[in-house]
């Protein structure tokens, strides 16, 4: 059939319908379909129940066009997508010997003599369906179509679904598309350390009166992405307008831009450190290991990340990082002085050339008259050159932790880059005011309570 230039998306699963699992599959399929020039008209979630699933597929078939389905292809009794598609198209399920052989081969690689009985049902497809190979799992996808509609059924496991969509489904969609398919081209600038409204103000004059590309501000987890979209233009024209605006925005926002498209802040830090031949250790308090987690999500991080300490209580700061009790009593756990000693302790403990430290009050409790919830001191030591900053962020406990982690990593990235450009000067303190001045008195035990609160 010739697929009309629009798609609808159907995700299957009680866990999605009841809100227990976030529907990232629908978001992925909508985003990638739109980029390919298809209009996304509808997204539906159906339960793992025979009648609603069958009727939902029948209704989607009646609307025509391409229907992208994820979920319900597993080996358990509540995986009903194969059955429901057969019912919706008035066909019977049949065992495909080639698929069964492929399943047997995959399970032999897992150490099984034969596939479990439930998995053998994954080799059953509606009559006339075209199997779609699964490069990362056992459940094959399928294309079931007639003169009016084409259903592309894919696994619900995201990493299995994504590669199947890109390699098996999207080429078939494009081959079946009618005339007038409008290609959408996008680029993304990734920023940290600046809020959405402040970002918008800084680039307002670059965007006023501009029709293309369209720019969307996408805040998430302490970062803001700028997504540039050009649609309805010839490829050369789209690349030209995207490139011009991307360059202008990156130049204006250079202190906060850390990457493009799918690049991560942890990856940018890793490339900078590896390029400079430097190693890193971390000392975290209020972020609770979030920075170390971000770093170790990057492949190859073991070549430059030596380790980290989560020194949450005052005693841990003293015993694991060498922060003096006098500093904790005089300046408090949430202070520039404590941050400096945490930096030194992390470098000494792991023998690293660089260190990063964070200490703050994530809330909702623990504030004092001089130290509000959201106050965070963070700093980096790059081969003896120390930079400190402090900030006070609004938001939830998790939001404050995320913003602190991103800000600290961005500070480290800029410090390593500056060293590469010949900048030196141990003890260089920059940022929001004189971050080296201690916050003042306070009992050590109370400060630890601030961070745990």
Distance (Å, rounded) from C-alpha 223 to C-alpha 241? 25
pLDDT given for residue 293 in this prediction: 98
Would you state the pLDDT for residue 184? 82
Domain 265-452, CATH number (from 3.90.950.20, 3.30.70.250, 3.40.50.970, 3.40.50.2300): 3.90.950.20
Query: Any idea where the domains of the chain sit in the sequence?
Result: 6-176, 184-260, 265-452
Quick check: helix, strand or coil at residue 420? helix
User: Which two structure tokens, joined as six digits, stand for 383?
Assistant: 């081969």
As a whole number of angstroms, the distance between CA 337 and CA 295 comes to 25
Mean pLDDT of the chain: 89
At 437, is the pLDDT very low, low, confident or very high (cuts 50, 70, 90)?
very low
* Class of the domain covering 6-176: alpha beta
Work out the angle between the directed axes of helices 235-252 and 196-207 (0-180°, nearest 10): 130
> Which pTM value belongs to this model?
0.72
**10 Å Cβ neighbour count for 277?**
8
Asked if pLDDT for residue 444 goes beyond 80, the answer is no
- Lookup: tokens for 59: 């209704």
**What pLDDT, on a 0 to 100 scale, did the predictor assign at position 23?**
96
Q: Considering the chain, what percentage of its residues have pLDDT values greater than 70?
A: 92
Q: DSSP secondary-structure letter at 177?
A: B
| pLDDT range class, residue 378, cuts 50, 70, 90 | very high
Structural fold of domain 184-260? Alpha-Beta Plaits (3.30.70)
Q: Are 288 and 310 in contact (CB under 8 A)?
A: yes
Map tokens 């103000």 to a residue.
201
- Token representation of residue 266: 């942890």
108 Rama sector, left if φ>0, alpha if ψ -120 to 50, beta otherwise = alpha
Residue 387: closest CA among 432, 422, 350: 432
The length of the chain is 453
68 and 156 Cβ atoms separated by less than 8 Å: no
Asked if 93 and 82 touch (Cβ cutoff 8 Å), the reply is yes
Element (H, E) at 50: helix 50-63
Q: Enter the tokens of residue 374.
A: 């959201």
Mean pLDDT of 343-353: 98
pLDDT for 209 equals 84
Distance, in Å, from the CA atom of 36 to the CA atom of 122, rounded to the nearest integer, reads 30
Lowest mean pLDDT among 25-39, 65-79, 108-122, 236-250: 108-122
78: pLDDT strictly greater than 60: yes
Distance CA 59, CA 57 (A): 5
- Closest CA relative to residue 68, chosen from 36, 20, 97, 91: 36
pLDDT at residue 428 in the model? 41
CA–CA gap between residue 194 and residue 191 (Å, rounded) = 7
In the prediction, which pLDDT does 8 show?
Answer: 97
C-alpha 331: how far from chain center: 37
């Amino acid at each position: 059939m010739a697929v009309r230039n629009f798609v609808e998306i159907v995700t299957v699963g009680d866990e999605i319908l009841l809100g227990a699992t976030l529907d990232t599959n629908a978001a992925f399929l909508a985003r990638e379909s739109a980029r390919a020039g298809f209009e996304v008209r509808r997204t539906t979630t159906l339960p793992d129940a025979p009648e609603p699933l069958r009727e939902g597929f029948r209704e989607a078939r009646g609307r025509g066009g391409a229907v992208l389905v994820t979920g319900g292809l597993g080996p358990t009794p509540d995986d009903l997508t194969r059955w429901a598609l057969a019912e919706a198209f008035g066909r019977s399920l049949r065992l495909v010997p080639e698929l069964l052989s492929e399943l047997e081969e995959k399970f032999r690689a897992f150490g099984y003599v034969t596939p479990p009985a439930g998995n053998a049902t994954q080799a059953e497809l509606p009559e006339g369906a075209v199997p779609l190979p699964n490069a990362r799992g056992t459940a094959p996808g399928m294309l079931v179509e007639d003169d009016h509609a084409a259903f592309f059924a894919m696994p619900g496991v995201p990493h299995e679904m994504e590669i199947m969509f890109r390699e098996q489904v999207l080429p078939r969609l494009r081959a079946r598309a009618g005339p007038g398919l409008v290609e959408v081209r996008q680029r993304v600038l990734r920023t940290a350390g600046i809020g959405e409204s402040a970002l918008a103000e800084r680039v307002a004059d670059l965007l006023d009166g501009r029709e293309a590309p369209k720019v969307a501000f996408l805040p998430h987890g302490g970062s803001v992405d700028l997504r540039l979209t050009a649609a309805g233009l010839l490829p050369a024209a789209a690349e030209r307008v995207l490139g011009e605006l991307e360059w202008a925005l990156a130049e204006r926002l250079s202190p906060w831009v850390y990457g493009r498209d799918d690049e991560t802040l942890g990856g940018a830090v890793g490339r900078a450190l590896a390029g400079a031949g430097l190693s890193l250790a971390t000392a975290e308090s209020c972020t609770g290991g979030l920075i170390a987690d971000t770093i170790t999500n990057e492949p190859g991080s073991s070549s430059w990340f030596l380790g980290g300490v989560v020194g949450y209580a005052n005693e841990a700061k003293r015993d694991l990082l060498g922060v003096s009790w006098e500093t904790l009593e005089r300046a408090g756990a949430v202070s520039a002085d404590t941050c400096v000693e945490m930096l030194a302790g992390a470098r000494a403990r792991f023998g690293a050339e660089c260190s990063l430290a964070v200490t703050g009050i994530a809330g909702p409790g623990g504030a004092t008259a001089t130290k509000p919830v959201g106050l965070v001191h963070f700093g980096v030591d790059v081969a003896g050159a120390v930079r400190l900053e402090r900030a006070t962020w609004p938001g939830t406990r998790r939001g404050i932790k995320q913003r602190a982690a991103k800000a600290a990593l961005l500070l480290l990235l800029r410090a390593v880059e500056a060293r590469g450009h010949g900048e030196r000067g141990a003890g260089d303190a920059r940022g929001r005011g004189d971050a080296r001045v201690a916050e003042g008195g306070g009992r050590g035990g109370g400060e630890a309570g601030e961070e745990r609160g």
